[in-house]
Amino acid sequence: MTNPQPADPSSRPPPLLPLATLIGRELRGERPEEPSLRFGHAGLAKRGEDLFLIKPDCLRIAGNPSTSFSVFAIFDGHNGVSAAVFTKEHLLDHVMSAIPQGLGREEWLQELPRALVAGFVKTDIDFQRKGEVSGTTVTFVVIDGWTITVASVGDSRCILDLQGGVVSLLTVDHRLEENAEERERVTASGGEVGRLNLCGGQEVGPLRCWPGGLCLSRSIGDTDVGEFIVPIPHVKQVKLSTAGGRLIIASDGIWDALSSEMAAKSCRGLSAELAAKLVVKEALRTSGLKDDTTCLVVDIVPSDHSISPSTPKKHQNKLRSLFLQLRSPSSMKHTNKLPSFGSFEELFEEGSAMLEERLATNFPSKANPSLFRCAVCQTDKAPNEGFSLNPGSYSSSAVQPWEGPSLCSECRKKKDAMEGKRPSRSTASR
Ligand SMILES: [Zn+2]
């Protein structure tokens, strides 16, 4: 405003679009300010227990294309593939049914972290009812506009690579070996953490939880391990600047071989499809094929740009730079012009394994839940049957009645079991 002739090209408004383009967008129901997604997948199977989900066409409101969002997920199964298959089939529906109808976009995004917790727990309860013993990690990524929400249990990982070479981890590894906080939680809930004992007392392998012997502290399924192995996800929500960024979502087959930085660096400047292939190849080159290895790469880029979001680093080899220039001659120019260079805003992060902390937070105005609907499984119950979570912070407020979420008796049983208060079923022992 103060300077009518901006000297810096980055402060100029974007060029006007031809009317035909705008009309075309209108007809297709696209939102011009929205980013485009480009994605690729690669994987190598050893046991065939890694599954993935790519669903770029989900709708918040059925029949309304302007409410679209995308889901990308990886399920790394163990002790069989049935938990991974079940979770892939049902998790998204369970998350969606935990979000009240009629919310606008911002409120929907605000509700999403809680709905993810409810959806993960419901999927776990439903799968365990089948009596099968397999389990799965889940890394579940929801992209709506520039906002990315990641929910995860287990040790698959999602990283965010920004244009300036900054790599951020959007998940937490729930491995007993590496996560002291989770070791404490499991022990406090009645589990025993230790290594496998060979005859003669020699301890081998990573830290595991007994009963069951799982080295993860959170998963979906695993009916045969202690119930302190919980399905409550770590959730992180971030908003990218309009410069965009790249997500790399992969199972532990990748992360056992490559650090987050190595994975991001190995594929900068390449299209999402090539990038996914290269990350898998790089992991294989480093460690060989020891495990199922799955990688999804998602580029979130400004619309009408045919660019990859990453600027090649100075020290990258010339061949790759040449390749980039040949592929999209305008990409370098464009990247340099983008006003906001690879940043993001953290909107939400919570990893607690306590269900009441995850479900009983402030509700957006329009999203007040029914007092008589279970916050986890969404079934309605009679007014006298219900059990409200016990929110300590509300107990002092005598004027305002408790309006937070409540649980049905079955979900309450699950909650108590997860906290080690009572077993809801018998488990195998060491
Ligand atoms: Zn319930």
- Is pTM beyond 0.95? Reply is no
Cβ-Cβ contacts under 8 Å for 343 (sequence gap 6 or more):
162, 240, 241, 243
Helix axes 105-129, 409-418, angle to 10 degrees: 80
CA distance 106 to 243: 21
Kindly give the distance from the C-alpha atom of residue 415 to the centroid of ligand 1, in angstroms, as a whole number: 10
Kindly give the distance from the C-alpha atom of residue 370 to the centroid of ligand 1, in angstroms, as a whole number: 13
φ, ψ at 391 (rounded to 5°): -90, 105
Query: Which residues lie at CB < 5 A from ion ligand 1?
Result: 374, 376-377, 408, 411
Kindly give the distance from the C-alpha atom of residue 260 to the centroid of ligand 1, in angstroms, as a whole number: 38
CA distance 109 to 111: 5
CA distance 22 to 192: 61
Kindly give the distance from the C-alpha atom of residue 216 to the centroid of ligand 1, in angstroms, as a whole number: 25
Which letter does DSSP use for residue 334 in this model?
Answer: H
Question: What is the per-residue pLDDT for 386?
Answer: 52
Kindly give the distance from the C-alpha atom of residue 329 to the centroid of ligand 1, in angstroms, as a whole number: 55
Asked if 297 contacts 40 with a C-beta cutoff of 8 angstroms, the reply is: yes
Asked if 164 contacts 181 with a C-beta cutoff of 8 angstroms, the reply is: no
Letter for the amino acid at 186? V
Task: At 36, list the tokens.
Answer: 């485009």
Question: What is the per-residue pLDDT for 327?
Answer: 37
Question: What is the per-residue pLDDT for 1?
Answer: 37
According to DSSP, the residues that pair with 277 across neighbouring strands are none
Kindly give the distance from the C-alpha atom of residue 346 to the centroid of ligand 1, in angstroms, as a whole number: 31
CA distance 119 to 343: 30
Kindly give the distance from the C-alpha atom of residue 181 to the centroid of ligand 1, in angstroms, as a whole number: 28
- Each as own residue / partner, the long-range contacts of residues 263-269 (CB below 8 Å, 24 or more positions apart, any chain) are 263/159, 264/159, 264/161, 264/167, 265/165, 265/313, 267/297, 268/161, 268/165, 268/310, 268/311, 268/312, 268/313, 268/316, 269/308, 269/310, 269/311, 269/312, 269/316, 269/320, 269/321, 269/323, 269/324
Question: What is the per-residue pLDDT for 318?
Answer: 42
Kindly give the distance from the C-alpha atom of residue 314 to the centroid of ligand 1, in angstroms, as a whole number: 55
Kindly give the distance from the C-alpha atom of residue 318 to the centroid of ligand 1, in angstroms, as a whole number: 58
**Domains of the chain, each with CATH number or no CATH:** 32-358 (3.60.40.10)
Kindly give the distance from the C-alpha atom of residue 122 to the centroid of ligand 1, in angstroms, as a whole number: 8
Kindly give the distance from the C-alpha atom of residue 34 to the centroid of ligand 1, in angstroms, as a whole number: 36
Kindly give the distance from the C-alpha atom of residue 407 to the centroid of ligand 1, in angstroms, as a whole number: 5
Kindly give the distance from the C-alpha atom of residue 413 to the centroid of ligand 1, in angstroms, as a whole number: 9
According to DSSP, the residues that pair with 279 across neighbouring strands are none
Asked if 387 contacts 407 with a C-beta cutoff of 8 angstroms, the reply is: yes
pLDDT per residue as tens, the chain (430 positions): 334 444 444 444 444 556 666 555 555 555 558 899 999 999 999 989 999 999 999 999 999 999 999 999 999 999 999 999 999 999 999 999 999 888 999 999 999 999 999 999 999 999 999 999 999 999 999 999 999 999 999 999 999 999 777 899 999 999 999 999 999 999 999 999 999 988 888 889 999 999 889 999 999 999 999 899 999 999 999 999 999 999 999 999 999 999 999 999 999 999 999 999 999 999 999 988 888 999 999 999 998 754 444 444 444 444 444 343 333 333 333 333 333 446 899 999 999 999 988 987 555 555 555 667 899 999 886 666 555 555 444 444 444 444 556 888 899 899 999 999 876 665 444 4
- C-beta neighbour count of 32 within 10 angstroms: 12
Kindly give the distance from the C-alpha atom of residue 224 to the centroid of ligand 1, in angstroms, as a whole number: 22
Kindly give the distance from the C-alpha atom of residue 378 to the centroid of ligand 1, in angstroms, as a whole number: 6
Which letter does DSSP use for residue 313 in this model?
Answer: P
Kindly give the distance from the C-alpha atom of residue 229 to the centroid of ligand 1, in angstroms, as a whole number: 19
Kindly give the distance from the C-alpha atom of residue 386 to the centroid of ligand 1, in angstroms, as a whole number: 10
Asked if 125 contacts 219 with a C-beta cutoff of 8 angstroms, the reply is: no
Kindly give the distance from the C-alpha atom of residue 93 to the centroid of ligand 1, in angstroms, as a whole number: 15
Question: What is the per-residue pLDDT for 385?
Answer: 59
Kindly give the distance from the C-alpha atom of residue 195 to the centroid of ligand 1, in angstroms, as a whole number: 35
Kindly give the distance from the C-alpha atom of residue 146 to the centroid of ligand 1, in angstroms, as a whole number: 33
Nearest to 38 by CA among 241, 325, 268, 245: 245
Kindly give the distance from the C-alpha atom of residue 322 to the centroid of ligand 1, in angstroms, as a whole number: 57
Cβ-Cβ contacts under 8 Å for 186 (sequence gap 6 or more):
176, 193, 209, 217, 226, 228, 229
Kindly give the distance from the C-alpha atom of residue 148 to the centroid of ligand 1, in angstroms, as a whole number: 28
Task: At 98, list the tokens.
Answer: 């935990």
Kindly give the distance from the C-alpha atom of residue 202 to the centroid of ligand 1, in angstroms, as a whole number: 44
DSSP state letters, 241-283: -TT-EEEEEE-HHHHTT--HHHHHHHTTTS-HHHHHHHHHHHH
Kindly give the distance from the C-alpha atom of residue 379 to the centroid of ligand 1, in angstroms, as a whole number: 6
Asked if 54 contacts 47 with a C-beta cutoff of 8 angstroms, the reply is: no
Kindly give the distance from the C-alpha atom of residue 257 to the centroid of ligand 1, in angstroms, as a whole number: 40
According to DSSP, the residues that pair with 406 across neighbouring strands are 374, 388
* CA-to-CA separations, 343 to 162, 163, 173, 319, 347, in angstroms, rounded: 7, 8, 23, 28, 13
Asked if 350 contacts 235 with a C-beta cutoff of 8 angstroms, the reply is: yes
211 cis-preceded (ω within 30 degrees of 0): yes
Kindly give the distance from the C-alpha atom of residue 185 to the centroid of ligand 1, in angstroms, as a whole number: 24
Which letter does DSSP use for residue 79 in this model?
Answer: S
